[in-house]
């Protein structure tokens, strides 16, 4: 990659150019972001995976720009129109929009009105007017009358077509107009389809008469307005003073100096008006909205990816025998009993709620299942009848240590009807699959949620309106980073989890499962090299994130990469103990830390050595915290029970750039608006995620209750877990 691009990326991300250059080189060698972040810290200067991912995105963007330059230069060269100045301008260009402006005069396109006018022979007249040599255009036009242009008016109109195209293709004029319009207001107005009795149209009522500077409109508002326009309820346009634009172009690019006659001036003014109205302003307005949309997409995708990362890294309850409950009223509560590995042992339905009201029978059934399957944890889905089901279970005596947890149901129905769900439980119906998914989410959220399309997990912001290709790429990166952060047991992981390990993917995941099935599991990391098509590069990328429980070499069940096994052996030898004696031994690791510099060399720098020592002290440590139980306020069940000023417990269910949604147990989530959040210094944060995290337990204060619109306003009182 060219140095100027490296410098630009470094400046934008506020990192050193050498960090960017090394990352780009590592990408070119086929290294994955998790591998680079974890095992190449010396080369990246300790950049985290988010920063490396951003470098990767920008590097790909500039690579695309460079390829586009090559295509443009080739096209212009084939036309024989390339000049040194143009080549230099293209080479120096770093803005895709400016690049396309430079290319516009040479871009092959269908026959335009200007091209037809040139074919009719009026270009000398047009250029004469432009160069201020034709003082009386109407008189001069008589000489150009022919079979195609039969009157003076037709000749002058054709000349103006040429002038309009000339002004439209001027790079400096386009840049000037683009900068001018970028600071204008975006106006949103309702269309005739947006009638007051249309419920869907009323979703956009706030934008029926709305205006806001296009360069400063927040992502969520722009995407909402664009969706309203797509659905036919809104019309968006820039508040452009066209007369001011025309005067700006005329005096800056034509009328500043020279002997200009009235007729001459009028023809140029008419050409500029046509240029702006027909060619330039619609194009630039579309370009500015497209640019604003792209910016909003990135902001929304970041919100989504941040939420997804927090969701995937939600605290697991671990390998506990779990009773999973999918609540319901008329159709009952579906119960699935799982062993500590998440295998389905039993399922049945109870009816503790109206209209059946079989409370006693249900209590007996739950108690029986708890005893029979030695239940250690209860997972209750947070959907319909969740609150009532939670209260029902809290009235039942629990085994010692057994706790009740609320679990998000988002995406469970998608999993139930998916090919993955059918493969795992071909003989069970969708209700059983859904309950099993709820239970497994409590045991290990990451392992279960990778089976579901991230867009179905309920943690996004206008996720269906953003660039879908970019969204998928970013979400796949997030899942890969989370899986790599936690690590994967190669002998128990599903193919859906394995495919997200750095360097593996769907094809190799299937090959690993096939090998595991045929040979009864893996006994070492090195055995991965026996898997068909899993070569040295893939092994290098994935090995550090793979865990082999019970392997002869205890390092195979840690985050220490095989390439550093020799270093660990040297550490053990320096203390005259076997490698096994270092594992989990605080005293031995402390002794090694005191001699840290003895193990630092050209290959393994200080950051890597410190990582290895931390891993030796706590091998295979899970970065996730343990799951915590939660209870809603006992006296609050419906929105009508709320009063302004009340303080109640809640769970953060979604974090957007305008606030956070909180479940307080009344069948309707409340919103803590960004303006109601404050940092430690009492200032409003730039985004809600600066203060709150997904699934965080909080105490909130009720600030408003709108029964007519079914809306609840909240403010943050206390954070319960952080």
Residue 411 in this model has a pLDDT that exceeds 90: no
Helices (H) and strands (E) in the chain, counts: 30, 15
Same domain, 522 and 576: yes
Same domain, 297 and 353: no
SS3 (DSSP) at 547: strand
Residue 110 in this model has a pLDDT that exceeds 90: no
Chain segment 453-462, per-residue pLDDT in tens: 888 887 777 7
- Which letter, b or e, does each residue of 279-290 get, where b requires 16 or more Cβ atoms within 10 Å of its Cβ? bbbebbbebbbe
Same domain, 686 and 565: no
Q: End of a domain among 303, 335, 359? A: 303
Handedness of CA 363, 366, 372, 378 (dihedral sign): negative
Q: Residues 6 or more apart from 113 whose CB is under 8 A from it? A: 158, 161, 164, 165
Which is nearest to 664 in space by CA: 715, 721, 722? 715
Domain for residue 471, yes or no? Answer: no
Same domain, 227 and 124: yes
- What is residue 622's predicted lDDT score, i.e. its pLDDT? 77
CATH code, 31: 1.10.10.650
Structure tokens at 605: 């720098």
Chain segment 62-82, per-residue pLDDT in tens: 999 999 999 999 999 999 999
Same domain, 438 and 512: no
- What is residue 389's predicted lDDT score, i.e. its pLDDT? 95
Which is nearest to 21 in space by CA: 1, 48, 45? 1
Provide the pLDDT confidence category of residue 641 given band limits of 50, 70 and 90: very high
| Rounded CA separation 654/669 (Å) | 10
Same domain, 509 and 368: no
Domain for residue 458, yes or no? Answer: no
- What is residue 460's predicted lDDT score, i.e. its pLDDT? 73
Provide the pLDDT confidence category of residue 190 given band limits of 50, 70 and 90: very high
Report how far apart, in Å, the C-alpha atoms of 426 and of each of 231, 334, 441, 495 are.
Answer: 39, 18, 20, 17
Domain for residue 491, yes or no? Answer: yes
For range 142-149, the mean pLDDT: 94
Residue 721 in this model has a pLDDT that exceeds 70: no
Domain for residue 451, yes or no? Answer: no
CATH code, 681: 2.40.50.140
- What is residue 681's predicted lDDT score, i.e. its pLDDT? 66
Domain for residue 209, yes or no? Answer: yes
Same domain, 158 and 200: yes
Chain segment 329-341, per-residue pLDDT in tens: 999 999 999 999 9
Same domain, 192 and 282: yes
Provide the pLDDT confidence category of residue 210 given band limits of 50, 70 and 90: very high
- What is residue 683's predicted lDDT score, i.e. its pLDDT? 78
Whole-number average pLDDT of the chain: 92
Chain segment 369-389, per-residue pLDDT in tens: 999 999 999 999 998 999 999
Chain segment 597-618, per-residue pLDDT in tens: 999 998 999 999 999 999 999 8
Domain for residue 455, yes or no? Answer: no
Edge to edge, what strands does the sheet with 209-213 contain?
A: 209-213, 185-190, 234-238
Which is nearest to 500 in space by CA: 514, 484, 522, 516? 484
Q: What is the DSSP string of 658-684?
A: TEEEEE-SSSS-EEEEGGG---TTSPP
| Rounded CA separation 645/511 (Å) | 58
Number of domains composing the chain: 5
- What is residue 620's predicted lDDT score, i.e. its pLDDT? 73
Domain for residue 690, yes or no? Answer: yes
| Rounded CA separation 5/69 (Å) | 14
Cβ-contact 587, 648 below 8 angstroms: no
SS3 (DSSP) at 110: coil
Residue 26 in this model has a pLDDT that exceeds 70: yes
Q: What is the pTM of this model?
A: 0.84
Which residues span the domain enclosing 681? 639-719
| Rounded CA separation 683/703 (Å) | 19
Cβ-contact 595, 610 below 8 angstroms: no
Residue 257 in this model has a pLDDT that exceeds 80: no
| Rounded CA separation 589/600 (Å) | 15
Domain for residue 573, yes or no? Answer: yes
- What is residue 160's predicted lDDT score, i.e. its pLDDT? 97
Containing 335, the helix (H) or strand (E) segment is: strand 333-338
Considering only residues 637 and 358, tell me which one the structure prediction assigns the higher pLDDT: 358
Structure tokens at 26: 């590592």
- What is residue 631's predicted lDDT score, i.e. its pLDDT? 85
Chain segment 420-442, per-residue pLDDT in tens: 999 999 999 999 999 999 999 99
Same domain, 155 and 283: yes
| Rounded CA separation 629/618 (Å) | 26
For range 163-175, the mean pLDDT: 95
Provide the pLDDT confidence category of residue 680 given band limits of 50, 70 and 90: low
DSSP 8-state symbol, 215: T
Q: End of a domain among 382, 412, 443? A: 443
| Rounded CA separation 326/332 (Å) | 9
Same domain, 55 and 21: yes
- What is residue 258's predicted lDDT score, i.e. its pLDDT? 64
For range 6-11, the mean pLDDT: 96
Same domain, 200 and 281: yes
Handedness of CA 630, 635, 637, 642 (dihedral sign): negative
Provide the pLDDT confidence category of residue 192 given band limits of 50, 70 and 90: very high
Same domain, 243 and 349: no
């Amino acid at each position: 990659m060219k140095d100027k691009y490296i410098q630009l990326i470094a400046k934008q991300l506020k990192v050193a150019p050498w960090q960017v250059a090394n990352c780009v080189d590592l990408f070119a060698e086929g290294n994955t972001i998790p591998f680079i972040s974890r095992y190449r810290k010396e080369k990246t200067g300790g950049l985290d995976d988010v920063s490396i991912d951003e470098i990767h995105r920008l590097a790909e963007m500039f690579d695309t720009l460079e390829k586009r330059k090559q295509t443009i230069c080739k096209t212009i060269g084939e036309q024989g129109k390339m000049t040194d100045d143009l080549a230099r301008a293209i080479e120096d260009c770093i803005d895709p929009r400016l690049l396309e402006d430079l290319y516009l005069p040479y871009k092959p396109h269908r026959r335009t009105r200007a091209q037809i006018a040139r074919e009719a022979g009026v270009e000398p007249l047009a250029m004469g007017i432009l160069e201020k040599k034709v003082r009386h255009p109407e008189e001069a036009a008589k000489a150009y009358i022919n079979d195609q242009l039969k009157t003076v008016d037709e000749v002058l109109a054709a000349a103006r077509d040429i002038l309009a195209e000339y002004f439209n293709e001027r790079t400096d004029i386009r840049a000037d107009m683009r900068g001018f319009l970028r600071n204008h207001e975006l106006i949103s107005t309702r269309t005739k389809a947006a009638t007051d009795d249309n419920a869907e149209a009323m979703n956009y009522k706030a934008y029926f008469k709305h205006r806001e500077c296009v360069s400063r409109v927040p992502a969520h508002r722009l995407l909402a307005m664009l969706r309203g326009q797509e659905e036919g309820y809104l019309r968006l346009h820039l508040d452009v003073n066209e007369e001011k634009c025309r005067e700006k172009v005329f005096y800056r690019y034509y009328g500043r100096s020279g002997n200009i006659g009235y007729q001459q001036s009028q023809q140029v003014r008419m050409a500029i008006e046509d240029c702006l109205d027909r060619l330039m302003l619609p194009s630039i307005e579309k370009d500015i909205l497209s640019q604003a949309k792209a910016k909003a997409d990135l902001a929304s995708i970041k919100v989504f990816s941040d939420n997804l990362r927090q969701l995937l890294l939600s605290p697991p309850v671990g390998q506990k025998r779990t009773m999973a409950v999918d609540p319901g009223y008329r159709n009952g509560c579906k119960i699935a009993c799982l062993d500590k590995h998440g295998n389905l042992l039993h399922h049945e339905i109870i009816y503790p709620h109206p209209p059946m009201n079989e409370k006693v029978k249900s209590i007996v059934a739950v108690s029986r299942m708890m005893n029979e399957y030695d239940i250690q944890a209860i997972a209750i889905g947070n959907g319909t009848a969740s609150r009532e089901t939670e209260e029902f279970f809290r009235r039942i005596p629990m085994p010692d240590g057994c706790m009740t947890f609320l679990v998000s149901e988002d995406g469970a129905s998608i999993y139930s009807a998916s090919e993955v769900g059918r493969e795992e439980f071909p003989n069970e119906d969708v209700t059983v699959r859904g309950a099993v998914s709820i239970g497994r989410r409590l045991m290990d959220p990451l392992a279960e949620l990778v089976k579901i399309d991230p867009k179905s997990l309920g943690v996004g912001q206008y996720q269906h309106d953003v660039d879908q290709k970019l969204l998928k790429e970013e979400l796949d990166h997030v899942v890969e980073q989370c899986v790599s952060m936690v690590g994967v047991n190669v002998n128990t992981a599903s193919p859906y989890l394995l495919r997200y390990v750095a360097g593996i993917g769907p094809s190799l995941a299937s090959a690993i499962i096939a090998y595991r099935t045929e040979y009864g599991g893996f006994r070492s990391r090195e055995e991965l090299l026996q898997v068909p098509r899993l070569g040295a590069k893939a092994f290098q990328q994935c090995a550090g994130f793979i865990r082999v429980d019970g392997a002869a070499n205890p390092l195979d069940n840690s985050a220490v990469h095989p390439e550093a096994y020799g270093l660990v052996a040297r550490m053990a030898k320096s203390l005259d103990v076997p490698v096994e004696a270092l594992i989990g031994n605080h005293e031995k690791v402390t002794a090694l830390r005191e001699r840290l510099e003895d193990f630092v060399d050209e290959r393994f720098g200080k950051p890597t050595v410190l990582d290895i020592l931390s891993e030796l002290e706590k091998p295979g440590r899970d970065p996730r915290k343990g799951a915590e139980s939660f209870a809603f306020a006992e006296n609050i069940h419906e929105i009508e029970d709320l009063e302004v000023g009340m303080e109640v417990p809640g769970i953060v269910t979604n974090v957007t750039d305008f606030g956070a949604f909180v479940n307080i147990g009344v069948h309707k989530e409340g919103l803590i608006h960004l303006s109601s959040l404050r940092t430690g210094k009492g200032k409003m944060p730039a985004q809600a995620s600066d203060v709150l995290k997904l699934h965080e337990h909080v105490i909130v204060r009720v600030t408003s209750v709108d029964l007519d619109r079914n809306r609840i306003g909240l403010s943050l009182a206390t954070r319960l877990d952080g």
